[in-house]
Structure 1
Amino acid sequence: MTENSQQTPAPTTELPTQYTPAEVEGPLYERWVDQGYFTADVKSEKDPYTIVIPPPNVTGALHLGHAFQVTLMDALTRRKRMQGFETLWLPGMDHAGIATQNKVEQQLAEEGKSRHDIGREAFVEKTWQWKDEYGGRILGQLKRLGAGLDWTRERFTMDEGLSRAVQKIFKDLYDDGLIYRAERIINWCPRCLTAISDIEVDYQDDDGELVSLKYGDGDETVVVATTRVETMLGDTAVAVHPDDERYAHLIGKRIKLPLTNRSIPVVADTHVDPEFGTGAVKVTPAHDPNDFAIGQRHGLETMTIMDERGVITVPGPFEGLDRFEARSAIVAALREQGRVVAEKRPYVHSVGHCSRCKTTIEPRLSLQWWVRVETLAKAAGDAVRDGRVALHPKEMEKRYFDWVDNLNDWCISRQLWWGHRIPVWYGPNGEVVCVGPDEQPPGTEAEGWTQDEDVLDTWFSSGLWPFSTLGWPEETEDLAKFYPTDVLLTGHDIIFFWVVRMMMFGLYAMDGEVPFKTVALTGLVRDEFGKKMSKSNPNAVDPIDWMNEYGSDAVRFTLAGGANPGADVPIGEDWVKASRNFANKIWNATRFALMNGATIEGPLPDASQLSATDRWILSRLNKTVAEVDAFYEDYQFAKLADALYHFAWDEVFDWYVELSKTTFMAGGEQAKVSGRVLGEVLDVMLRLLHPVVPFVTEALWTTLTGGESVVVADWPEDSGFRDEAAEREIATVQQVVTEVRRFKGDQGLKPGQRVPARLTLDGTALAAHEPAIRQLLKLQPEGDGFTATATLPVAGAEVALDLSGAIDVAAERKRLAKDLAAAEKDKAQSEGKLGNKAFLGKAPDHVVEKIRTRLAKADEDIARIQAQLDRLPPA
């Protein structure tokens, strides 16, 4: 009915009475690695399945976001390995240029030094030392989580092979005219002292001020408004719309720029919106991208007014002031001259901040290296449009296209020392030479040749990750076997940072072959109330703490259980506790099953030898296999976790094991049959659970089956066995047990309290299940003096109970009468309000709806309590 892949007899080893994750997890993981289970064989004839891990920063430590995505990737690769694929899950780290350089500069600052004090070569050497000492701790933490990565193939974005790949693709792009150097407005971080790309700018609403200033005098006066008053020192024009009659007399003239000895022209440009503000804008080409474009169209002068740290450099009273200090000083000076027409503060507006250090970004004219993205971005868009790459969930396609179809050229140079240095040399006579990985520099420093000082954006090297990690630009066996990769699983927040970069570079470098076939996008992990987790908030959680307390399986199962495609994932400690309880339930129930005859020895009996209960659980087992497979193929991790949870806990442990107890207690041939069925169910169930909860399932499965390891066991297959009749039959049994349990509870009886009962089951399928029903409901035989004080017709059968002596009928009637009076009072009050037209005319809709809901609940309570009273025996 399900194919059992293991024929090894079960060992005699007994399980400990309690599951202790700390004693199990570490040794198991070491064994998996030592046995080479995670090492992919490039010589294998099996079909490949490849995932490359999104490389965590070398500065990083495991956080819940990492743990979340790693859990899902591990589940995918463990399943594929069990399905017979040659599975490669490749680990590695990113050098994280700005973040790592900041760490080392902080160390130097503690010594009273800067990087310039020790020089570039010594600084880079010190950074490598930092990386060797502190970097990579996250990889050890991934092992703690159980990540089945191929550690023999671990890569680093600045190792020799990947550095060679970076140099190769730079050279190719440069030779094809897709990399160029130009002076443009860039995002400059005065703290990190480097350019950063558009996607590394975080925009947030800040409280600023909007100041309206009067330029010129008399009939040649123009009012402009700005939130960055200090930039007026670099204004080289005022722009108006060519059709704006208010300023027609000024177009082409020059007006006086306050606080300076300069006059600036008034230019006509269609970029200006005449309906916005005064219809006139100040133009600072060196400090604003829109102004730069206006300046280019009109041949305006560009004036850089501050240095790399944001300090004013214009000679005069403001020279040497920080940009924000200068802003206040300039407003004061303009106010004194009567040039301030209006001030609005606070003025909430969107301001860009460095995603690394949160410093306010300064737009700045700078000579930088750029990637010309038009053709690359089109290829990246086409690959999704024509189906070569599938985005999951599909709704994310719009977001992807909105970005990739409107991509600006990418600034790839960074004014750092840690990273891949740009492979361009400048000669003594103005020569510019780009050098590939197999080429020598064109000359020496003594001959007047110097290498470009800048390094490449970190995302440039990580954009090569799917193929550089497999050996490109060499034609390696790994590249031939494992490229393209199958799935990229990553957060939707880095579609722009990373996914698009990999698509552009992969299609370019690999002759149009996509870097991955599917992009499975996840949401972000949040706290149980849906708030973003942050170190600055008290809601940040170290997943290692939870693993220490509850075990890695509990953390993994909780994360998988919240993983709906593309949606954010709330997580709280109570949910991890519940997952720990689930792991314990699996352990305890499997231990009980092993002690009561569960086995995988011998073939599974034919259906004709099985009880309805056995056929039911095998039917449900096969349906669960099919269901879980479908959820995996659709990346529905939350649904597959839910399906596994309810099958294991509810159907196997709470129903099948309980329904079978009477069979096991009776012994004989049927007990052996059910023991074999239970062994089969546990075997398949543990294999299904393994990709999500690997540790507890490994310990249990090897004990049950005597197999080498569930890591390399076969993935269960749906045999197609279904028994709808058995499922209906057991559903009826469940209905009877559930309703009688509810009735007993309503009467105030404890779950284990035994009462005499007469079961009238003749003529129904329930008759064969009477022993199990009595066992589950704690129903004793009728016996002498039996009096049916309550009778329940259920599912075509009848259950009569003798509650005399089991409950204090008078006290129960009193309690129920009190509850009934409260419900009737609640009903009367609700009806009174809903019958009051004056009230209904004034009350908000949500208040009225709340009262209607309250009335409906009161009616339900009255009916329920009255039914309980009616079923009570006479006092």
Structure 2
Amino acid sequence: MQENLYSQIPTKYNPKEIEEKTYQFWLDGKYFEANNESDKEPFTIVIPPPNVTANLHIGHALNNTLQDILIRWKRMQGYDALWLPGTDHAGIATQNRVENMLSQEGKSRYDVGREAFLEKTWEWKNKYGDIIINQLKKMGCSCDWSRERFTMDEGCSKAVREVFVRLYEKGLLYRGNYIVNWCPRCETTLSDIEVEHEDKQGSLTHIRYPVEDGSGFITVATTRPETMLGDVAVAVHPEDDRYKHLIGKNLILPLVDRKIPVIADEYVDKEFGSGAVKITPAHDPNDFEIGVRHKLTPITVMDEQGKMNHHAGKFSGLDRYDARKQVIAELKSLDLLDKVEDHNHAVGHCYRCSTVIEPYLSDQWFVKMQPLAEPAIDVVKNGDVRFVPERFTKIYLHWMENTRDWCVSRQLWWGHRIPAWYCQDCGEVIVSKETPTTCPKCSSFKLNQDEDVLDTWFSSALWPFSTLGWPDQTEDLKKYYPTDVLITGYDIIYFWVARMIFSGLEFMEQKPFSDVVITGLVRDAEGRKMSKSLGNGVDPLEVIENYGADAMRFMLATGTAPGNDQRFHWDKVESARNFANKMWNASRFVMMNLGDLTYEQVSLEGPLSTSDQWILHRLNETVEDFNRLLGKYEFGEAGRVLYDFIWSDYCDWYIELAKLTLNGEDVAAKHTTKSVLCYVLDQILKLLHPYMPYITEEIWQHIPHQGKALVVAPFPEFKQELVFKQGAEEMAILMDTIRNVRNIRAEMNVPFSRKITLLLKPNSASYLQVFETGKGYIQGLCNTESLTIRQDIEVPEKAMTAVTSGGQVFIPLEGLIDTSKEIARLEKEMEKLQFEVDRLQKKLGNEQFVAKAPAHVLEQEKEKEQDYKMKLQTVEERIAELKKQ
């Protein structure tokens, strides 16, 4: 790129021609790279690491656009801005991809073995893992790629081991036999927050358990009758009079003929159902707790694949659902089935593969959450960490205050292998940062490392400091931690945000960030969540291909409000592209009129016209509003303030006003106008750059400017010397007058090419002065043949009139239009509009149409009806006014 080539800018804006070369220009200049040796104040964002398995979806596009807006803004404000990128190894998802690849060869991971499987997984990661990074670059994300990280790179792996060992040595990490969420398909545990609950129509099976002495039955109800094979007791409330006489007695477990006791426990709700609950400690978390209290021995009747095991007797080998059917059938044949009724209930599913999870008793590693949760709760309650919008604070606190111990082990091969070794000779457990060679207790060499890996979120929880070099005390860690802001979706407040907070407090003794900005979802045009099953997803790369990255970014950023969902509309993307085209064409006009003006010759020192003062004042207001709004993370509002200023004030008004001066004879005034045009355009490009980086950099390189790149140019600030309150107020009066005259022209169907006679009656002497000073603007933008400005003006009998901010305007009708012809034209238009109103009212009054039409179609038809009604009313009012003349 070169400077001062503004005469050579192409006539049309083509994103494809500028985006790739511009991004390479930024990379070559190393403009995205932070400098830990600089004296600049740091501003840091760590990217929520996307999965290496993922492709960019429209939600990623929104989230990363907002991060990029902030980092570009802060970089231009003079901060040492670091946006640290990276990807997550995504344990379950990545392993599934590689296993599926192997299955196409007729192999499983067990056929190739752990070492070969991991080699293949690394090959897969190296081949496909950069796809999403390249997509982020396509979007214009200004990450510091020299610092890119991966959750399983050497540094992050070192941090993971350090944390595991420290937690273990502090007594905050332990191994135990507990109920976990188990996915039979992925054959691994899941944490509570990795289970997605969906309401499903199931059934409630009521089973009669015979009392051992033959005195009757106790009826219990269950949604999973196959688990009854692992029952070890039936519990009743100690104060339930129906069952007091049975407490301590035995029941005969149907189908198994095993004796199980009736126990008393206050957990049981005696008002719910039969008041009796089957206790299956190996397959239900609540039953597990009851089993611990009553010292009951759990019986596991299912294996890791969801099939019944040898403890299930004759049902051994059956899939859990097949076993369910056979259990019910056999209970019925033995007359022990009381009833089966429909039952709607929440069923947990694996968040990765959607398989129904099983509560399952298993030996796993757990992190004790209460000691870690307490400071993480305090830091949010005292405001050190702030959620935006604030309502998400309650969601965070509710989860943290009710959290259970975190199961961190996963039965996978891809991931951080648990740094624990077991001595085969003495049973000693060795947890170590380094791989041990002998047992410290018995000196045996027979050591086996734990087969499991850590939950993916275990390494992600360390992301804000592991990526900066921890546990080593690096210069990056010293300067850039804690980070400043995290931008993420509300769906991972539990998964990730909370874990980063307590990890940062525990290991860095500092919060990981100050602000957590929560984004909503990007839904389709009908408000539905985007999904593969609905086929309503939007590929950001397709948007970029058709409209350019800037248009997509601007549409997403201006369509958002913190924490709220937004709808994706293609017409909004098109509007954003039109805005880009407007910017391009306005910039070309400015360039073509600058002549040989250089940056050094741009001056605001000369006499400024009213319009000059107004646009500089409005620019100043826009700068102040933009910086204030962006500082509050009001991305949508900040973008809309900027849009209104650029489109309306600069392009539609000031450029038109400037043409009057540029076409005039005053050389000094021309130079001032060129300077103002150039200065304001320069400031606009800087303001807009965080939202639309490509087009702004391209235009900026073609106008007189200072510096090598817009991406690191100083960001606009409010300037007291650009406050022109009086000039702005006077221009507002003139603009209101011009606007009213143009509206009358449009209403009367008078083309702009036809000159008019205009009479202007000021409300006072001061307004008279304003109108006299701005006479040239009124004449030029209203195309007047004559303009009379007087307080004692004689009002013609036949004239269109309007009240403006500073007086009244009158446009004589004589000779301007044929009133009778205009009335006839309007009456024909009125008939057409009345027809449309009647048609739509009949359609909306049709009960069958209203019942069958989709909601969005119905809404569109109602909007059409209101639009036609408003147009009809306007035409009727015009006719009435003309008939009075």
TM-score normalised by the chain length of structure 2: 0.90
SS of 1:447's equivalent in the other structure is coil
Say whether 1:744 aligns with 2:755. no
**Equivalence for 1:320:** 317
CA-CA distance at 1:322 after TM superposition: 0.6
Say whether 1:528 aligns with 2:519. no
**Equivalence for 1:760:** 760
Query: What amino acid is aligned across from residue 548 of structure 1 in structure 2?
Result: E
Query: What amino acid is aligned across from residue 690 of structure 2 in structure 1?
Result: P
Question: Deviation digits for residues 810-866 of structure 1, max 9, x if unmatched?
Answer: 2431354577799999999xxxxxxxxxxxxxxxxxxxxx99xx9999899668734
Say whether 1:794 aligns with 2:803. yes
Q: Hey, what's the Cα distance between the residues in 2 that align with 1:425 and 1:177?
A: 17
Question: Deviation digits for residues 748-767 of structure 1, max 9, x if unmatched?
Answer: 345x4424222336724123
Question: Deviation digits for residues 149-207 of structure 1, max 9, x if unmatched?
Answer: 11111111111111011001100000000000001100000000000101100000112
CA-CA distance at 1:227 after TM superposition: 0.8
Contact kept in structure 2, 1:790 and 1:871, CA below 8 Å: no
SS of 2:106's equivalent in the other structure is coil
Change (3 A) 1:787 1:595: farther
Aligned-residue CA RMSD (Å): 2.8
**Equivalence for 1:812:** 822
**Equivalence for 1:775:** 780
Query: What amino acid is aligned across from residue 801 of structure 1 in structure 2?
Result: I
Mean alpha-carbon deviation: is it higher for 199-208 or for 787-796?
787-796
Q: Hey, what's the Cα distance between the residues in 2 that align with 1:537 and 1:454?
A: 36
Give unmatched runs, 5+ long, in structure 2: 763-767, 789-794, 839-860
* Matches for 1:265-664 after TM superposition, within 5 Å: 265-313=261-309, 314-345=311-342, 347-438=343-434, 440-442=436-438, 447-510=445-508, 512-597=509-594, 601-602=599-600, 609-664=607-662
CA-CA distance at 1:868 after TM superposition: 4.6
**Equivalence for 2:880:** 869
Q: Hey, what's the Cα distance between the residues in 2 that align with 1:550 and 1:371?
A: 48
Say whether 1:682 aligns with 2:678. no
CA-CA distance at 1:371 after TM superposition: 0.3
**Equivalence for 2:698:** 699
Query: What amino acid is aligned across from residue 189 of structure 1 in structure 2?
Result: C
CA-CA distance at 1:605 after TM superposition: 5.0
CA-CA distance at 1:870 after TM superposition: 2.3
Say whether 1:40 aligns with 2:34. yes
**Equivalence for 2:142:** 148
**Equivalence for 1:164:** 158
CA-CA distance at 1:711 after TM superposition: 0.6
Query: What amino acid is aligned across from residue 304 of structure 1 in structure 2?
Result: T
SS of 2:8's equivalent in the other structure is coil
Contact kept in structure 2, 1:11 and 1:704, CA below 8 Å: yes
Q: Hey, what's the Cα distance between the residues in 1 that align with 2:787 and 2:474?
A: 79
Give unmatched runs, 5+ long, in structure 1: 1-7, 829-849
Q: Hey, what's the Cα distance between the residues in 1 that align with 2:179 and 2:624?
A: 56
SS of 2:701's equivalent in the other structure is helix
Query: What amino acid is aligned across from residue 325 of structure 1 in structure 2?
Result: D
CA-CA distance at 1:362 after TM superposition: 0.5
Q: Hey, what's the Cα distance between the residues in 2 that align with 1:855 and 1:666?
A: 46
SS of 1:219's equivalent in the other structure is coil
Q: Hey, what's the Cα distance between the residues in 2 that align with 1:826 and 1:29?
A: 51
Query: What amino acid is aligned across from residue 291 of structure 1 in structure 2?
Result: D
Contact kept in structure 2, 1:124 and 1:418, CA below 8 Å: yes
Query: What amino acid is aligned across from residue 881 of structure 2 in structure 1?
Result: D
Q: Hey, what's the Cα distance between the residues in 1 that align with 2:824 and 2:156?
A: 80
TM-score normalised by the chain length of structure 1: 0.91
Q: Hey, what's the Cα distance between the residues in 2 that align with 1:640 and 1:655?
A: 21
Mean alpha-carbon deviation: is it higher for 520-529 or for 277-286?
520-529
CA-CA distance at 1:724 after TM superposition: 2.5
Query: What amino acid is aligned across from residue 540 of structure 2 in structure 1?
Result: P
Mean alpha-carbon deviation: is it higher for 555-564 or for 96-105?
555-564
Change (3 A) 1:191 1:224: same
Mean alpha-carbon deviation: is it higher for 439-448 or for 681-690?
439-448
CA-CA distance at 1:434 after TM superposition: 3.7
Q: Hey, what's the Cα distance between the residues in 1 that align with 2:307 and 2:592?
A: 77
Question: Deviation digits for residues 747-804 of structure 1, max 9, x if unmatched?
Answer: 2345x44242223367241233333333333444489xx9985231432444443556
Query: What amino acid is aligned across from residue 754 of structure 1 in structure 2?
Result: R
Q: Hey, what's the Cα distance between the residues in 2 that align with 1:855 and 1:319?
A: 68
Query: What amino acid is aligned across from residue 672 of structure 1 in structure 2?
Result: H
Question: Deviation digits for residues 533-579 of structure 1, max 9, x if unmatched?
Answer: 11221310110001000000001001111221111122221111110
Query: What amino acid is aligned across from residue 869 of structure 1 in structure 2?
Result: A
Change (3 A) 1:858 1:151: closer
User: Aligned residues: percent identity?
Assistant: 47
SS of 1:546's equivalent in the other structure is helix
Q: Hey, what's the Cα distance between the residues in 2 that align with 1:628 and 1:193?
A: 51
* Matches for 1:176-325 after TM superposition, within 5 Å: 176-217=170-211, 219-313=215-309, 314-325=311-322
**Equivalence for 2:841:** none
Q: Hey, what's the Cα distance between the residues in 2 that align with 1:746 and 1:205?
A: 58
CA-CA distance at 1:805 after TM superposition: 6.2
Say whether 1:669 aligns with 2:680. no
SS of 1:743's equivalent in the other structure is helix
CA-CA distance at 1:521 after TM superposition: 1.3
Query: What amino acid is aligned across from residue 717 of structure 1 in structure 2?
Result: E
Q: Hey, what's the Cα distance between the residues in 2 that align with 1:742 and 1:248?
A: 87
Change (3 A) 1:827 1:548: closer
CA-CA distance at 1:411 after TM superposition: 0.1
CA-CA distance at 1:446 after TM superposition: 8.6
Q: Hey, what's the Cα distance between the residues in 1 that align with 2:554 and 2:107?
A: 47
**Equivalence for 2:90:** 96
Change (3 A) 1:725 1:415: same
Q: Hey, what's the Cα distance between the residues in 2 that align with 1:863 and 1:61?
A: 51
Say whether 1:62 aligns with 2:88. no
SS of 2:715's equivalent in the other structure is coil
CA-CA distance at 1:82 after TM superposition: 0.7
CA-CA distance at 1:660 after TM superposition: 1.9
Q: Hey, what's the Cα distance between the residues in 2 that align with 1:582 and 1:209?
A: 56
